[in-house]
Amino acid sequence: MLLGAARVSLWSMTNQTTQDEEQLAQPSTGDVGPEPVLAFRGVTKRFGGATALDGVDFELLPGEIHGLVGENGAGKSTLMKILSGVHVPDEGEMLLRGEPVRFSSPAEAKARGIGMIYQELSCMPALTVAENVFLGSQPMTRAGLIDWKRMRTESGEHLSSLGIDVDVASRLGALSLGGQQLVEIARVVFSGASIIVLDEPTSALSGPEAKRLFAAMAELKARGASLVFISHFLEDVIAVSDRVTVLKNSRKVATLPNEGLTKHRLIQLMIGRDADALAESYEGGVTLPPPSAATPMLEVRGLGMTGSFSDVSFAARPGEILGIFGNLGAGMTEVARVLFGRERPTSGEMRLDGKPVAPKRTSEAKRLGIAYLSENRRATVFPRHEIYKNITLAHLDQIVGGIVRKPREVAIAAELVQRTGVRPPRPTLAAGNLSGGNQQKVALAKWLTVQPKVLILNEPTRGMDVGAKREVLDLIKALRAEGVAIILISTEPETVLAESDRIFVMSKGRIAREFAGERVSKDLLMSYA
C-alpha cells in the first residue's frame, strides 16, 4: 500500500511537469521539416482490462535513427508489434508515407518495407552466411534450381556494401553473436526493408561488436533507410540516435533531439520525476542495512564465461538477500546458469560453505544445495501435470525413495501448498489451471521440498499483479529468516530496492557497482546499468 501511495503521490506532483516537458519537446507548428515516413497518431492498444498503449504519437523521419526508450512495460514492444502487423490498434491510426495503413499480419508489413530485427535472432546457424542473407528468397536458375554461384556473389556484395567482411561460404553458427546479428540486418535490408526496427540489438554484444553494429546502422542511414533503435542501454541510444522518444506507463512523455541529451535526463523522464524532488520517498531511494558479518555461504571469484560475462566476484551470506540488478543482456542470467551447473565457466572459481565446487550439471548443483528458479516460467512449471508432481519433481529421489508413492507425494506437496499460499490449495489440480502468480508459487515450492543452502531467483515476480508479487516476496523474506542465502536477480529496480540487503549492478557482462550500508535510489541503479 505504501508503494502504491508513493506512486500516486509521484504522479500528482510530477504530472504538470511531465505535460510541460512534452509540450517543450515537440517541434513548433511553424517549423517546416521533412514529411515523416512513418507516423502513429493517438494509438491505443488494450489487452483485456490492461492498457498497453494510451494515445501514443510517434514520428520517424527519412534517413533518421530514432531511439525509443522506457522501462519494462512502458509500451515499446507493443508499439513496434503494431508496426510489424503482430497487433492491430484499438484506436488511432498509422500513416506510412502519408497513407493510412493497418497491417493484419507480419507478411503485410514486410511487403510494405517494414523490417524487424529482434533480440532473439531468426537466422539459421546451420546454414551458410550466403544462405542466410537470401533466406526464403534464393536466386534461381532457368532450370528452377538454386543459383549457388549468384547467391554467394551477391551476398558478398550486399555485406561489403554495409562494411561487413565475412566469408559467405562459412557456416553462420561459426560467427560470433555480433557477426550473426550483422548478417541478419543484411538479410532484412536486402529483403527490401526501408524502415528497420532493432529491438535490443546490443544486449548480447561485446564492445567491438556493438561498434560494428553502429557503423552498419550509420551506413543504412546514409543510404536513406529509417531506423528505430530500442535499447535499455541509454548510452548506446544517445551514441547513435538523432532523436529519442521516451515512453512511460503506456504513454509518450517526450520526443527530444539528441543534441545535449544526457543519460541522466532520459532516466528522469523514464521515471517521471526530478531526481531531487522526492528524496525521502520510495522512488527517492532506500537505505540498505549494514553488511552482514556472517561467513559467506557462496563465494564467487573472477568468474567468467567467454561472450557472456567476465571477472564477476561476490559473496552471498546466509540470512541475506543479495540483489543483482541490470538490463536485459547484462549477463545476470548467464551467471545464474553457471552457478546452477547449466553452463560451464571459462575462468574463475566458486566456493560453497568454504569448499571449492564446480557443478557440471544441474543435478550436481542440487545435491550441493544450490537451487535456481528460472526467469522462464514455461520451462519451470509443467501445466498439464498436477501441482504435486510439479512440486516433488526436483527432489523425487530424496523425498520418496526408490518407489514413487502418490499419497506420499501429495502429502508433501499439500504441506508446501499451504506454506506458499497456492490458491486453490488442491495438490491434485493441474498446474495449468492456476494463475501466473500461483504457478510461480508452485515453482518456488519445488525448491522447498529440500531446503537449499543457496536459492537463486531470476525475475521471480515478473508479470505478476501487485498482490501476487507481494506474496512471493514475503515467501522469499521468510526463507531469508530461516538462514537461506538468496540471490535475487531482476531487471525491475523497484523489486531489488525493496527486498535486498546488498545490491550489485551488472552492465555488459561486468559488475559495475556494489551498494551496501548506504542510501540508493532507482535512478542511481539505472545510471550504472
CATH architecture designation of domain 16-23+35-113+195-201+227-272: 3-Layer(aba) Sandwich (3.40)
Work out whether strand 320-325 and strand 502-507 pair parallel, antiparallel, or are unpaired: parallel
Q: Would you state the cell numbers that stand for residue 231, as one nine-digit string?
A: 535499447
Q: And the C-alpha cell for 45?
A: 492498444
Burial environment of residue 75 by CB neighbours within 10 A (0 to 12, 13 to 18, 19 or more): buried
Say what the pLDDT of residue 300 is. 97
Contacts of 280 (CB under 8 A, 6+ apart): none
Count how many residues are written for the chain.
529
Side-chain half-sphere CA neighbours of 248 within 13 A: 18
Q: What is the DSSP string of 465-487?
A: -HHHHHHHHHHHHHHHHTT-EEE
Distances (CA, A) of 367 to 118, 159, 206, 370: 38, 49, 35, 7
Encode burial over 33-68: b for 16+ CB neighbours within 10 A, e otherwise: eeebbbbbbebbbeeeeebbbbebbbbbbbebbbbb
Q: How far apart are CA 91 and CA 345, in angstroms?
A: 49
| pTM exceeding 0.75 | no
Distance, C-alpha 13 to centroid of its chain: 30
Residue whose C-alpha is closest to residue 343's, from 308, 370, 367: 308
Q: Which residues contact 58 (CB under 8 A, 6 or more apart)?
A: 38, 39, 40, 43, 68, 79, 245, 252, 255
Low-confidence ranges of the chain (pLDDT < 50): 1-30, 274-283
442 close to 390: Cβ distance less than 8 angstroms: yes
Half-sphere exposure at residue 448, Cβ-oriented, CA atoms within 13 angstroms: 24
Strands (E), 342-414: 347-352, 355-357, 370-373
Residue 306: CB atoms within 10 A of its CB come to 10
The CA-atom distances, in angstroms, between 409 and each of 1, 13, 244, 403, 405 are 37, 53, 55, 11, 6
Phi-psi region of 97 (alpha: psi -120 to 50; beta: other; left: phi over 0): left
Domain layout of the chain by residue ranges:
16-23+35-113+195-201+227-272, 275-369+452-529, 381-451
Q: In whole angstroms, what is the distance from residue 466 CA to residue 91 CA? A: 28
Asked whether this chain's domains 16-23+35-113+195-201+227-272 and 275-369+452-529 adopt the same fold, the reply is yes
Could you give the 3-state DSSP secondary structure of residue 145? coil
pLDDT for position 481: 94
| 275-369+452-529 CATH fold | Rossmann fold (3.40.50)
The helix (run of H) or strand (run of E) holding residue 159 is helix 148-161
Decide: 70 and 248 in contact? Cβ < 8 Å: yes
pLDDT of res. 136: 75
Please write the tens of the pLDDT for every residue from 130-144: 998 888 778 888 888
